[in-house]
Structure 1
Amino acid sequence: MDQALNILVARLLAQRFVLRKDPLARRALIDEAFRESLEHRLAECGLQLLENPYAEHIAVALQPHMEEWVFGEGENWLSNNMGLPRDGIALLVVVWALIILPKRERQIARVEAGNEEQGDLFGAEKPIEHGEGVAQGVSEDALYADFGKVLGGKMRFTTNLGQLSKLGFVVRRNRMIYEGPMLDLMIDYAKLAPRIINGALADILKLSGTQIATAEIDA
């Protein structure tokens, strides 16, 4: 177990994420003893395993009590620990809402469809789907047309999108934006989804748009 554990930890640290269908990742998800050893090894370094059944990858992150020790210096800690500016964070939330929320609906619907016949103990169980078939992409041009001016204009939009790609949140291909390995792991669905579904994102964008318009008039 030690060699396999060492390899998985080294890959997670060096590559930042590993596909959940990878043999070692799968072992960490189904082998309880291996999972406990992995979590213990990571905890010794102030890290924790990131995984959820709806994400296509597993990854590592700092344990909450270690964040201030690592990111406590500098102004970035005041808003986030990824070095993203405020308009970059806003773009990340918009992309998350457009890609992850619809994906999660499709995944949950598929699971529920597999459990319709409660009395059939041996019925076929539908696994959770992953990949671009369920996580559909978003057009860069359409995204900019809808939100670009609110999110800082063309240059800021392009710069922030490139940063999100570099951090692994998104994958850009043929002017389309797809889910990156970290998008469904680094953002807490349970906390953010209700805020977006209840209209908080729309209110924030509306407010930001008003502030920008006011600034332009004052100028």
Structure 2
Amino acid sequence: MSPRRSVTDARETRSAILARGVELATVEGLDGLTIGRLAADLGLSKSGVLGHFGAKEALQLAVIDTAAEQFGREVVEPSAGTTPGLPRLRALCEAWLVYLTHPCGGFFLSAAAEFDRRPGPVRDAIAGMSALWQRDLRMHITLALADGDLTGDADQILFNLVGTVLAANHALHLTGDAQALPHARHALQTQLPTSPPTLTRQQP
């Protein structure tokens, strides 16, 4: 086998491990990731999996990075053609809702619940990804407020949007509510109207 092919095989194996890792972690948690489970699922030796990461924490961190790349492809990139501000904000939130229905769509929501009270590098990585995502949402909220397309407080609007998606994920996967997405879309429509808000004229 040529050195180039060997490198390519190693990259493909690593990608397969991480893709399966995201799938498992979404359902069973990042703590549920084990070298043995991944090796068995992918038909690899334990040493073949361990050699790519060296330790469980390194595997968890690499899985978080892979999940972030997936989120970018499925949620952020499809919305890139929309106008910054309210149109982009609506597109991002809709894509986020749709992503919840994907097999790995709830990865970060599950990981956040699993590690929110557990200090360390894994929690820091999850919190960092969440902060970046909320920074992007806040940027478009701020633009929409400046354009007059939204009124209110940016922090409160962001809190409401994140809360809506969290509630949708809960209803979709925990209770199996068939109306989870329609209810979430109605809530988002209320928070992010398609037409500019009507301002109440102050009496002199």
Q: Where on the TM-score scale, by shorter chain, does this alignment land: which range?
A: under 0.3
TM-score, length of structure 1 as denominator length = 0.24
TM-score, length of structure 2 as denominator length = 0.25
* Higher fraction of helix: 2
